[in-house]
Amino acid sequence: MANVRLEDIKRKFNNVTAIEDITFEIPDGEFWVLVGPSGCGKSTILRTIAGLETATSGKLFIGDRLVNNIPARQRDVAMVFQNYALYPHMSVSQNIGFGLQMRQVDRKIIQERVMNVARSLSLDHLLDRKPKQLSGGQQQRVALGRAIAREPQVFLLDEPLSNLDAQLRDDTRAELKQLHQELGITTIYVTHDQVEAMTLADKIVVLNRGRIQQIGDPQSIYASPANQMVASFLGSPPMNILPAIYESNGFDVSGQLLTIPAVVKEKLQLRQGHSYDLGIRPEHIFINEPPTRQEVNESQLIVEVKVVEPLGRETLIRAGLPGSAVVLNIQVGGDVRPRPGDRLSLQLDLNQLFVFNPKTGDRIL
């Protein structure tokens, strides 16, 4: 096992900079997830660690060893890809043992290790099958097994679950987590799926346009995102972003006044007449009883229901601010079922309000 340290790693493809300023250190045994939208540079970082790409500049250490110039096969890392590429003519057991066989490990030891790995992945009853006789999830587990059997110092996983259907994906995700708890191998996992990132990671690295946006444990990134990109990326349904103009009493949100408590005002020191983006998560919006004109106070927003999605335990509501294109996601209990066209009065939990600079995306509150 080993820690992995990246110091100011940059990778350019001709004149396109895929990643830059990439600096972090993953302690031995931790599970880190690289997450971000398509093209943000996740795979390039992973492939650089694997030795499949060469850094244009910067230093990469695995353990105490500087590995920039060490070929992939000597780095003692194992990588599992999205398209798991098993050898079709080999059985499950041969596939799992293949890496060991290439290293001319003793046959008995190979057999033993294949058996142990197969057991931990619930593949032991499938050892004689060929890949085409397996389901997608089983094939992916064989690919994981092949990587685990090599007992690498570092495990690199590039979107390993993205070819699986939803149920299988959930199950395999939980298995992966358990496996990591058992084996404790330093793992770096790439995904654009924020649920995978939140559930698997000891630490998440959020990337955008080749640069690190934030590094932290899932809960603290969710509760305290560094900027609007991170805030919008982590969370499902995503955080609502409401363009607003600051007035003396509060925020003008598409013609509705949202008054804010004095303490929040003090913290913000915003300038009147300036534009801001307000952020509020769907679970921090509540529906008031049907409003009468008198009851509507100024810390509420009136919206019109567009779409209602009952999910059993909860209901997701998409609702628009009248006279604007802004649509809010609201997450309420499963027993709440408004109808499209209904007008609702919403109460925002203003203690959970985020404020962003709309130009830079930086978080102000």
The residues of the shown chain that bind ligand ATP, judged by CB under 6 A, are 13, 16, 18, 36, 38-44, 192
CB of 19 to ligand ATP, least distance (A): 7
Nearer CB in complex with ligand ATP: 44/153: 44
> Of the two residues 4 and 253, which places its CB atom closer to ligand ATP in the complex?
4
CB of 197 to ligand ATP, least distance (A): 13
Task: Determine the Cα–Cα distance for residues 254 and 252; give it in Å rounded to an integer.
Answer: 6
CB 161 within 8 A of CB 173: yes
Question: What CA–CA distance (Å, rounded) separates 158 from 188?
Answer: 8
Q: How far is CA 100 from CA 49, 117, 150, 295, in A?
A: 21, 13, 6, 72
Q: CB 210 → ligand ATP: shortest distance, Å?
A: 6
**Least Cβ distance, residue 140 to ligand ATP (angstroms):** 18
CB closer to ligand ATP, 155 vs 246: 155
| Closer residue to ligand ATP (CB): 206 or 303 | 206
The torsion angles phi and psi of 175, rounded to 5 degrees, stand at -65, -40
> In angstroms, what is the minimal distance from the CB of 253 to ligand ATP?
34
What's 255's DSSP letter? T
Choice between 210 and 282, CB closer to ligand ATP = 210
How far is residue 239 from each of residues 134, 270, 329, 352, measured CA to CA in Å?
40, 22, 8, 11
User: Which candidate, 145, 88, 143, places its Cα nearest to that of 119?
Assistant: 145
- Residue whose structure tokens are 């978080």: 363
Q: 41 or 216, CB closer to ligand ATP?
A: 41
| Residue 143 Cβ vs ligand ATP, minimum distance, rounded to whole Å | 18
- Name beta bridge partners: 5: 25, 61
